[in-house]
Amino acid sequence: MNTLANNPSTKESIVEKTIELYLNLYESIDFNDKYLQYSIAFVMFNPIFWNIIARLEYNTHFLTKFAGSPKKGCYILALIIFSIGLGRDHVFNMALKQQQISPFLNTDLFKKIGYFSIGLGQILVLSSMYQLGITGTYLGDYFGILMDDRVTSFPFNVSNNPMYQGSTLSFLGISLINAKPAGLLVTIMVQIMYGIALLFEEPFTAKIYANRDKQNENKKIN
């Protein structure tokens, strides 16, 4: 084993085969397909949209004023986010139907991994929603609907962002079950966009709760 691992020709062969595999996966993606383009656009648009709307709500309370209360305003945003999520998922599935199947991915092993990914992803998503509720899931803190304490039980004891990670795993699973490299591309975009979203969401959420704690301390002093 060590002799094979240290053999330069063996290493070069592995690298060449790996590069060839990536090229085959890449070349099987039809970038001109409109549904793939729409799918990527949805993936990019959704987290940008809900972050902008949530910030506007925090600064202007426009949804609260429109709906008549913070909770109703949050429900409106939840409905919008859920709806555009359904649109994203529909376009993603349409894109997969148009794309080529990869012989490399079209195996029982990858299908099993795909089903496992979907199952794990849905567990993370649904258990996260159960723990947080609608307002906790759909940016209720931007409406002033804050939780008393940080949730530390499952799934938050195994993942800091189970909703996002669960969603990414679901995209991965669907892509593997269908053996579509284009789906893997979209999955990577999902992961990237959620990562960017967290760069904005986590510090701002921490700021909201820090302000709440500071106000509570001032009340105690007064």
Count other C-beta atoms under 10 Å from residue 39's C-beta.
27
Nearest to 168 by CA among 89, 84, 103, 222: 89
Residues within the annotated binding site for S-adenosyl-L-methionine?
A: 119-121, 201-202
* φ, ψ dihedrals at 146, nearest 5°: -105, 150
Is it true that the peptide bond before 103 is cis, omega within 30 degrees of 0? no
67 to 116, 139, 216: CA distances (angstroms):
41, 16, 27
Name the packing angle between helices 162-178 and 181-221 (round to 10°).
Answer: 170
Q: Which residues contact residue 153 at a Cβ distance below 8 angstroms, ignoring those fewer than 6 apart?
A: 131
CA distance 29 to 183: 9
In three-state secondary structure terms, 32 is: coil
Number of residues that this document lists for the chain: 222
Residues within the annotated binding site?
A: 119-121, 201-202
Count other C-beta atoms under 10 Å from residue 34's C-beta.
12
Question: Which 8-state DSSP code applies to residue 140?
Answer: G
Residues 183, 174 contacting (CB under 8 angstroms): yes
